[in-house]
Amino acid sequence: MAKKNMVGPFSIGTLLILLGALIGIIAIFLTWFDFSVDIFITTLSKTYTGMEFATEDLKTDDFQRLCPLIAWIVAILIAVLNVLPMVGVKIDSKIRNTASLIFGILVIILVVVWGTWELFSGYKMFDYAEAGAWMMIASGALAVIGSGLNFYMKS
């Protein structure tokens, strides 16, 4: 008899977690920041992907520039943690769901820390945030929701 919270061999919560991890893995390569200002007859524009914050020379040593990269690594950890049981590696579901919950919250915190960073004086990253940053937040939220759903279904 099939369980009602399963989609094939996966629980709905695990599918949400994996979807969130996939979105987080993709989000690093999308635009995170787009700043444009008109100066007389020309426009100054700066656009960065999440990966470029870690790899470009931004003339700053602020730790916030590494937040997108760390969030990406955490999204990869979430994916690996939830794929391993599918290939035969035994991981207790409570440990896996707890880790996914904590990592999902960590992803959201990292993006919020990045978003409150002032790269240019008076301009916070969230003021000019683009799809990559918002998708990374959605990634963490899906991991949290999926983990919570798994905990709820087990009780």
Q: Choose among 111, 113, 121, 119: nearest CA to 143.
A: 111
Q: CA Rg, the chain, in Å?
A: 18
Please report whether residue 9 resides in a domain: no
Characterize the bridge pairing of strands 31-39 and 42-49.
antiparallel
Q: Residue 101: what pLDDT?
A: 96
**Running along the chain, 155 residues long, what does each successive block of 10 average in pLDDT?**
56 92 95 81 82 79 85 96 89 91 96 84 80 94 95 79
The pTM score is 0.85
Q: Residue 89: what pLDDT?
A: 87
Please report whether residue 43 resides in a domain: yes
Please report whether residue 137 resides in a domain: yes
Domain that holds residue 28: 20-154
Please report whether residue 59 resides in a domain: yes
Please report whether residue 102 resides in a domain: yes
Please report whether residue 77 resides in a domain: yes
Please report whether residue 10 resides in a domain: no
Distance CA 32, CA 52 (A): 9
Q: Residue 4: what pLDDT?
A: 61
Q: Residue 56: what pLDDT?
A: 80
104 to 23, 31, 44, 141: CA distances (angstroms): 12, 21, 35, 6
Please report whether residue 3 resides in a domain: no
Q: Residue 41, class by beta-carbon neighbours within 10 Å (0-12 exposed, 13-18 middle, 19+ buried)?
A: exposed
Q: How many domains does the chain contain in total?
A: 1
